[in-house]
Amino acid sequence: MILDRIIYSAISRRPKLEWPEGARVALWLVPNVEHYEYLPRPGQLRDPWPRTPHPDVLGYARGDYGNRIGFWRMIEVIDRYRIPCTVSLNLAVYQHFPEIFEACEARRWEVLCHGIYNTDYLWGLPESKEREFIAECVELHRRLTGRELLGWFSPAGSLTVHTPDLVAEAGIKYYCDWRFDEQPFPIKVRTGQLLTLPYQLEVNDGVNFDFRYGVEAEVFAQTAIEMFDRLYQDGAENGRVMHLALHPFLIGQPHRIRQLDRVLKHITAHDGVWMATGGQIADWYSKNYLPLLAAQIAADAV
């Protein structure tokens, strides 16, 4: 089944990926701006709230803090460094919180669709219902922004075996449920073309700050800096993507926010960093590199 989706390609065998103006690293900064339902749809394969019975006010309020406070604290830091962002967005945020919609649109942030709510999953949906859900997201995004939807990341990572095919069928360019590389990479779909983009979970505040792992902001920042330093080193030989996920209800806490400033200050002090959106990365890769990779893979197969 895996081989039906991705081809193995050792980084040592690939042609050199060169980003615009010879940049070593494409910085892909992705705030995850989410909305969790107070009373999620019942009967799902996973209970969205571990504290039952519903409503789980503590869980709901934790996410709501991000949209009330953490988001605004986070963008204050991002604005300082003028970094373009791709917002991993539960589309309901734009409907419920027009101030956030206006702030993102004013900054021309690109949308990576993360479903409508982060408590409404794809798991268990028949293919026809999943197709309808993706179409609803495409249409809702178009109605809200006037633009076509470029990227997809299933809500809470709740992909199915059909999701890549359905996303490509809907005309979406790039996809983040599969995360197996430090460069974009094509994924096989029934029709059309789809790229995976590197989406980092090893260095991700949504994972690292979880109470089960016990990582706090200073360690997170140091890890992010060390990740960048190694990608920057490797990028001299073959270009890399540095993805950094930021959850406003986590990184936007008052005791953590200065560590985001520390990370961004370190990265932007380096030459050879292309600050790009997911769509820009996907377009550049498709036009300038994908034919080279395809030729290399074909040669290796002989």
Whole-angstrom distance, CA of residue 158 vs CA of residue 172: 17
46, 155 Cβ separation under 8 angstroms: no
Q: Mean of the pLDDT values across residues 237-245?
A: 97
Asked whether the predicted pLDDT for residue 77 surpasses 80, the reply is: yes
CATH class of 17-301: alpha beta
Residue 4 exposure: Cα atoms within 13 Å on the Cβ side: 7
pLDDT per position as a tens digit, 10-49 = 999 999 999 999 999 999 999 999 999 888 888 888 888 7
Closest alpha carbon to 32 in 265, 200, 235: 200
Q: What's the pTM value of the predicted model, to 2 decimals?
A: 0.95
pLDDT of residue 57: 87
The predicted structure's pLDDT at residue 137: 98
- pLDDT class for 3, splitting at 50, 70, 90? low
pLDDT at position 16 is 97
CA atoms within 13 A on the CB side of 130: 21
Determine the pLDDT at residue 208.
82
| Domain extent listing, the chain | 17-301
Token pair, residue 286, equals 């498709």
Instruction: Specify the pLDDT at position 285.
Output: 98
Q: Which two tokens stand for residue 3?
A: 């081989």
CB 217 within 8 A of CB 251: yes
How far apart are alpha carbons 95 and 50 in whole angstroms? 26
- Where does the pLDDT of residue 211 fall: very low under 50, low under 70, confident under 90, or very high at 90 and above? low
Average pLDDT along the chain? 94
pLDDT value of position 194:
98
Cis geometry, peptide bond prior to residue 126 (ω within 30 degrees of 0): no
132-184: pLDDT as tens digits: 999 999 999 999 999 999 999 999 999 999 999 999 999 999 999 998 999 99
pLDDT reported for residue 40:
85
Name the pLDDT band for 213 (thresholds 50, 70, 90).
Answer: low
> Does 185 score more than 60 pLDDT?
yes
Nearest to 35 by CA among 97, 86, 124: 97
pLDDT at 214 over 80: no
Instruction: Write the Ramachandran bin of 11: left for phi over 0, alpha for psi from -120 to 50, otherwise beta.
Output: alpha
Alpha-carbon gap, residue 124 to 30, rounded angstroms: 27
Task: Report the C-alpha gap between 84 and 76 in whole angstroms.
Answer: 13
- 215-234 pLDDT, tens digit per residue, is 898 999 999 999 999 999 99
The runs of H, that is alpha helices, within 82-216 are 92-96, 98-106, 127-145, 163-169, 205-208
- pLDDT value of residue 228: 98
- Non-local CB neighbours of 134 within 8 Å, separated by 6+ positions: 152, 166, 167, 170, 172
Q: What value does the mean pLDDT take over residues 273-286? A: 98
Class of residue 263 by CB neighbours under 10 A (exposed 0-12, middle 13-18, buried 19+)? buried
For the chain, what percent of residues have pLDDT higher than 70? Answer: 98
**CA pair distance 23, 288, nearest whole angstrom:** 14
What integer pLDDT is reported at residue 254 of this predicted model? 97
Residue 249: predicted pLDDT = 95
Residue 212 binned pLDDT confidence (cut-offs 50, 70, 90):
low
* Structure confidence at residue 7 as a pLDDT band (50, 70, 90): very high
Beta bridge partners of 275: 27
